[in-house]
Homo-oligomer: A and B are copies of this chain.
Amino acid sequence: MRHVDVLIIGGGPAGISAAIWCKRLGIDCLLLEEQSQLGGQLFNIFNEIIDYPGMRTKNGIEMQREMVKHFVEMDCLYEVNTKVLFIDERSKTVKVKKQAKEQEICYTYLILATGSSQRKLGVPGEQQMIDRGEVYSASADGERLKGKTVAIIGGGDRAFEGAHLLSSKAREVYLIHRSTRFKAREQYVERIISNPCIKVMTDTEVTAIHGDRHVTSIDLESKNKEYKNKEYKNKEYKNLLVDAVLIRLGVAPNVDLIKGKVATAQNGLIVTDDVHQSSNPFIYAIGDSCTTPLFSSISSSAGQGAIVAKQLSSMLNI
């Protein structure tokens, strides 16, 4: 059976950083990626990246290219199209599948860099919208959305933060949430409720997104209730004309593989200590599988990769 000192699952910025750092420190290391290319969530960034110190890129693809170039130049070992089917933490092996062929790999230390996934609405037109590149950042795309009618879907911090940021740019902002209870922190909610430029629609579900070349409208199903003391009532809109939809239903860490094997918090995140060790001393986690979305960034993922590799270098006595 193949053995590696450090096995990394996931080839986003956290995994790439951990692999570069392992190589740098002389650690025998292998990275596994399920998709056909390394990069993870970088493929979902369509706006300019201005917050990775020293390196600005036009979008996530350009960042992906630079990171993979660095990774390949360093001769980091990796396998793409390789799905981890099962982690056996007792025998310290993982079962993987690559093109119908299964094999087992034995590790001394395992690094989970499995990232997180955006929750989706699951309605007609949503995937087409994403595929057309109509994916916006409320903080970076203010100019692109200037004068537009924007619908933000969700009830958490990021939905409210997005509505706040866009309220001074867009012509109209709708914040649409399927319940009357918000997960967002109180101060965020208050700020939005008192903002006359934002229409909050509660107890309302989006059932379809329309538009051929770009978003033109959304279908809504409303339960026609009031939100607290706010005067605005949800009318029984059947169809709402909008120019852009921002889906902010939150992200979920990708932790299915490790469920029940290491401690996770209520929000699903893997619990780690300050050197990124999980509750199992041979399993570490970095990046969005263990970081709250509020603190997630390419910079912090890269930093965590450095820290975990330095920690393992010292554990492996290299």
A residues whose Cβ falls under 8 Å from a Cβ of B: 13, 16-17, 20-21, 24-26, 50-56, 63, 66-67, 70-71, 73-74, 139, 187, 191, 274-275, 294-295, 297, 299-307, 310-311, 314, 317
Contacts and interface: CB of A to CB of B under 8 A. Distances in A.
A25 to B, nearest CB: 7
Contact of A311 (B66, B139, B187, B295): B295
A24 B295 CA distance: 14
A7 B275 CA distance: 28
A130 to B, nearest CB: 24
Contacts of A317: 187, 191
A61 B295 CA distance: 29
A74 B54 contact: no
Given A17-B299, A299-B17, A299-B302, A74 B55 contact: no
A55 B66 contact: yes
A52 to B, nearest CB: 7
A305 B297 CA distance: 11
A283 to B, nearest CB: 19
Contact of A55 (B55, B71, B297, B301): B55
Nearest to A62: B54
Nearest to A309: B51
A147 B195 CA distance: 71
A305 to B, nearest CB: 7
Q: Nearest 7 A-B pairs (CB), nearest first?
A: A303-B303, A299-B306, A300-B303, A54-B66, A54-B67, A17-B53, A297-B306
8 contacts: A24-B139, A52-B302, A54-B66, A295-B310, A299-B306, A300-B307, A301-B303, A303-B304
A275 B295 contact: yes
Nearest to A165: B26
A275 B295 CA distance: 9
Contacts of A307: 295, 297, 300
Contacts of A305: 53, 299
Nearest to A164: B318
A308 to B, nearest CB: 10
A54 B56 contact: no
